[in-house]
Amino acid sequence: MRMTKVIIFDLDNTLYNEKEYVISGFKAVALFLAREKSLDYCTVYSSLLESFVINGRGNNFNYMCSKLNINNRIISRLVDVYREHCPEIILREDIELFLLELSREYNLCLLTNGWLLPQKMKVESLKLDRYFDTIFYSQQDGLDFAKPHPKYFMQVLQFYKIEASEALMIGDDPVADIQGAKKLNMPYFQVSNELDDNEKQQIIQFLHDNIQ
């Protein structure tokens, strides 16, 4: 008998590359500043990208504002524009097929950290409701219960009325996803960044072997 009943996926950097989201958000911010402040779109966009290449995510708006001499009081507005923008992201075709294939035999659940609105908009852009029968947003009540906190892992188990051993957690984050699963003795699989062919094969192998 098949042991695994529910496959729980993380979203960012597991099903798609989060860099794509960041880039899409920077474009929305550059467009906003071009419209509202008559700034040059390309200048704003390239300084945001430059900041991302140098420092990664975080403080990108500060960097851009100080470089372009913009009063940084506008930053909170830019954060809203970023978080509320409709993301231009798509699922890689092979990942789409992989999810489709899995969804025929298993219940698929999405368990994602991140603020509610942006996560919901990502889910919509990636059309994830086609493959996932449940979606849990672990930061919908704030940061306290974000993965690796067990609260939402437990909610998934309760929803499906399964034991932790009957789930498989798939995610990229060694703390949020992997430690979260380990705490509950839930089987897990760590991906490096955006599922690759080798990882997909290993997951299929695990599901195949995990039979009693």
Which residues make up the interface to Mg ion (CB under 5 A)? 10, 12-13, 172-173
- Tell me how far, at minimum, the Cβ of 93 lies from Mg ion, in Å: 20
201 φ, ψ to 5°? -65, -40
Residue with smaller CB distance to Mg ion, 52 or 63: 52
Cα(139)–Cα(144) distance, rounded to whole angstroms? 8
Considering the complex, state which of residue 32 and residue 98 has its C-beta at the smaller distance from Mg ion.
98
The distance of closest approach from Cβ of residue 176 to Mg ion in the complex, given in angstroms and rounded to an integer, is 7
Q: How far is the CB of 177 from Mg ion (least distance, A)?
A: 6
CB of 212 to Mg ion, least distance (A): 30
Concatenate the DSSP letters of all residues of the chain into one string: -B---EEEE--BTTTB-HHHHHHHHHHHHHHHHHHHH---HHHHHHHHHHHHHHH-SSSHHHHHHHHTT--GGGHHHHHHHHHHS-------HHHHHHHHHHHHHSEEEEEE-S-HHHHHHHHHHTTGGGT-SEEEETTTT-GGG-TTSHHHHHHHHHHHT--GGGEEEEES-IIIIIIHHHHTT--EEE-SSS--HHHHHHHHHHHHH-B-
| Closer residue to Mg ion in complex, CB, 172/199 | 172
CB of 13 to Mg ion, least distance (A): 4
Lookup: tokens for 13: 């950097």
Residue 10 CB, shortest distance to Mg ion, in Å, is 4
Give the CA diameter of the chain.
65
